[in-house]
Amino acid sequence: MVLKAELHCHIEGAASPRLVEKKAAKYGADVSSFIQDGRFVWHDFTSFLNAYDQAAMLFRTEDDYADLAEDYLLSLGRQDAIYSEVFISTDHAFSAGINPRAYIEGLAEGMRRAKAATGIEGRMIATGLRHKGPEAVMAAARYIVENPHPLVTGFGMAGDERMHKPMDFAAAFDVARNAGLGITIHAGELSGWESVAGTLDALNPSRIGHGVRAIENPELVKRLADEQILLECCPGSNIALGVFADFSSHPFAGLANAGVPVTLNSDDPPYFHTDLAREYEIATSYFGYDDAMLKQVTETAIKAAFVDEETRTSLLARLCQDKTVRVADELFAGSAPSS
């Protein structure tokens, strides 16, 4: 058992088909176009986003969002996660007809319930949607800066990376950064290394969502290592979306070996038939990671988390105090654990 932390998961994309069907029954909605045999149905990035948007529209009240966050963070707790950052989207709140304040309060309530049950610490990263354009991303940044919430500690951008240039969003990210929010931006997933380099140059994030196509340019990999820019890697998502052909050609280990800080994340778990535990298992099976290396990945995540220093220290202490990995190593080496 390795303690885990997740920095990259979209809360709407974490809704299980079972929970979406429950909300559909509540609202009398038909989900047959995007859920079949208990699984989300999509065939490319655009149809994935479409299914995702339709599922999101079935969460309409503060209680619905409390259920969603509680359900997801409880499931993370069962996977031995001690920390979770989820992306939230005020654009989705507006589309679902709920005031963003109630949306955030609902999610925060779900996080509180899950923390009370499992001890998992949660934070939210507000996001703008790139395909809605620079003005929409600016509106999302302004909303979150003008309506601060203690559990919303970051600002990011998701959506279709193939649209617009990084510089188009510079003003929005200045607004968020000047308010003290941590910055992470999706890049180098649907588009190549230039997108990662352009994002670093124009928007100066401390973390990149995915970023894996940086591997196309060795100089950029060196820059990521030199500047210690953390990549929120989501191998299961990348294979499901066809970013790489298979796990053996995924650059996770190559980036890590080059000194780039990398973490493991589930992105939109039920859409990609994954979860955080599976991502850690993928690292074991395909990237040669043992438990000590996985524990290091968790530590890397906590060190880059968008939390206050007191919370970070206590999360790191929990990780250090966990003796499971060390004891297992000692047993494997044939020596008895000292206590």
User: Which residues sit at the interface with ligand ADE, rule CB under 6 A?
Assistant: 10, 13, 158-159, 186, 189, 237, 267-268
Per partner kind, with CB cut-offs from 5 to 8 A, the member of Zn ion, ligand ADE, none near residue 172 is none
Per partner kind, with CB cut-offs from 5 to 8 A, the member of ligand ADE, Zn ion, none near residue 269 is none
Q: Which is nearer to ligand ADE, 56 or 114 (CB)?
A: 56
Residue 279 within binding range of Zn ion, rule CB under 5 A: no
Cα–Cα distance, 271 to 50 (Å, whole number): 12
Q: What is the DSSP secondary structure assignment for residue 14, as one 8-state letter? A: G
Cα–Cα distance, 216 to 195 (Å, whole number): 11
- How far is Cα of residue 266 from the mean position of the Cα atoms in its chain? 7
The DSSP element (H or E) to which 99 belongs, if any, is none
Q: How far is the CB of 218 from ligand ADE (least distance, A)?
A: 25
Q: How far is the CB of 267 from Zn ion (least distance, A)?
A: 5
For residue 158, which of 267, 303, 271 has the smallest C-alpha distance? Answer: 267
Per partner kind, with CB cut-offs from 5 to 8 A, the member of ligand ADE, Zn ion, none near residue 237 is ligand ADE
Number of residues that bind Zn ion (CB under 5 A): 1
For strands 207-210 and 262-264, give the pairing: unpaired
Q: What is the DSSP secondary structure assignment for residue 330, as one 8-state letter? A: H
Per partner kind, with CB cut-offs from 5 to 8 A, the member of ligand ADE, Zn ion, none near residue 159 is ligand ADE
- Residue among 6, 70, 85, 189 flagged as catalytic: 189
For residue 172, which of 190, 185, 189 has the smallest C-alpha distance? Answer: 185
CA atoms 98, 123, 277, 223: torsion sign:
positive
For residue 51, which of 270, 276, 278 has the smallest C-alpha distance? Answer: 270
Q: How far is the CB of 93 from ligand ADE (least distance, A)?
A: 15
DSSP result, 111-159: HHHHHHHH--EEEEEEEEEGGG-HHHHHHHHHHHHHS--TTEEEEEEES
Binding part of the chain for Zn ion, among 55-63, 69-77, 105-113, 264-272 by CB under 5 A, reads 264-272
Q: Which is nearer to Zn ion, 23 or 210 (CB)?
A: 210
Q: Which is nearer to ligand ADE, 76 or 187 (CB)?
A: 187
Q: How far is the CB of 196 from ligand ADE (least distance, A)?
A: 14
Query: Tokens 């990662």 label which residue?
Result: 196
Q: Which residue is nearest to Zn ion (CB)?
A: 267
Q: How far is the CB of 292 from Zn ion (least distance, A)?
A: 28
Could you give the dihedral angle defined by the CA atoms of residues 322, 328, 334 and 339, in that order, rounded to the nearest 10 degrees? 30
Q: Which is nearer to Zn ion, 71 or 267 (CB)?
A: 267
Q: How far is the CB of 127 from Zn ion (least distance, A)?
A: 9
194 among known catalytic residues: no
Residue 267 within binding range of Zn ion, rule CB under 5 A: yes
Q: Which is nearer to ligand ADE, 229 or 315 (CB)?
A: 229
Cα–Cα distance, 306 to 7 (Å, whole number): 9
Q: Which is nearer to Zn ion, 40 or 319 (CB)?
A: 40
Give the per-residue contact string, 220-259, with Zn ion (x = CB under 5 A; - = no).
Answer: ----------------------------------------
SS3 82: strand
- How far is Cα of residue 75 from the mean position of the Cα atoms in its chain? 15
Q: Which residues are designated catalytic?
A: 189
Residues in touch with Zn ion (CB under 5 A):
267
